[in-house]
Structures are given as C-alpha cells and as structure tokens.
C-alpha cells in the first residue's frame, strides 16, 4: 500500500509513499471516498515527504481532490513537500492551487 491514512479530530491525513502515478488511481479513489463520506472532515492534509516520484496523472489526482474539496468546503494542504516535488508543482503552476508546507516550515500559499 503506497497511501497511508489517519484521522485526527477534523483532519484527514493522507501520507503518500515512494511513487505517485497512474498505478495509484484506484487506491487514491478509495481514500477520497473515505474523505468525502465523512462529514466531520474539514481539512485534508497530504504528506508527500517520502515521495520520490510523481507524474502528470498524480498531479491530476491532486487537482481533482482539490476541486472536490472546494465543492465540499474542505481545505487541502500539501505538507512536508520536498524540493523535487515542489519544483514539479511549481512547473505545473499547482503552487497556485494548494497551500504548501515545506519541510523547513515555510508555508507557500499563492492561491487566489
């Protein structure tokens, strides 16, 4: 399993391990169903600190998560974003979609 989850109060934490690509779609979809079926969840925290690779399919999954979260009035934050992943997000302009917390503790929130 490449996605671990836990719920603490009103926060759903998703930890994505190693690789995040199209092979994770079914697992990611199941996790999203858990998030949106739980009305008490208000914040979705996506920890990518262990992520070594992500592709455009992974970016699409994160963007879909963000769209659904916005519609459900939930907030998505990417936490512990390593430099290589931050660069991918920046290249795709996703840094304007997500609140991003870098391992250094710096928070990027360029959303409109």
pLDDT band at residue 112 under the 50/70/90 scheme: very low
Backbone CA torsion sign across 59, 12, 41, 28: positive
> What sections of 1-105 are H helices per DSSP?
25-37, 56-71, 83-91
Rounded CA-CA distance 41/34 in Å is 10
The pLDDT value recorded for residue 31 is 96
Q: What is the pLDDT of residues 3-26, one digit of tens each?
A: 999 999 999 999 999 899 999 999
Q: What is the pLDDT of residues 64-107, one digit of tens each?
A: 999 999 999 999 988 888 877 777 777 777 767 777 666 655 55
The answer to whether 70 touches 38, Cβ cutoff 8 Å, is: no
Domains annotated for the chain, with CATH where assigned, are 3-109 (3.30.750.24)
The answer to whether 103 touches 81, Cβ cutoff 8 Å, is: yes
């Amino acid at each position: 399993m490449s996605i671990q989850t836990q719920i603490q109060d009103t926060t759903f934490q998703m930890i994505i391990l190693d690789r995040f690509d199209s092979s994770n779609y079914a697992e990611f979809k199941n996790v999203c169903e858990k998030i949106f079926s739980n009305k008490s969840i208000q914040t979705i925290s996506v920890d990518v600190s262990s992520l070594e690779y992500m592709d455009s399919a992974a970016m699409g999954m994160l963007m879909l998560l963000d769209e659904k979260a916005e519609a459900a009035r939930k907030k998505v934050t990417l936490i512990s974003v390593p430099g290589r992943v931050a660069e991918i997000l920046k290249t795709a302009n996703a840094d304007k979609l997500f609140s991003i917390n870098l391992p250094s503790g710096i928070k990027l929130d360029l959303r409109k």
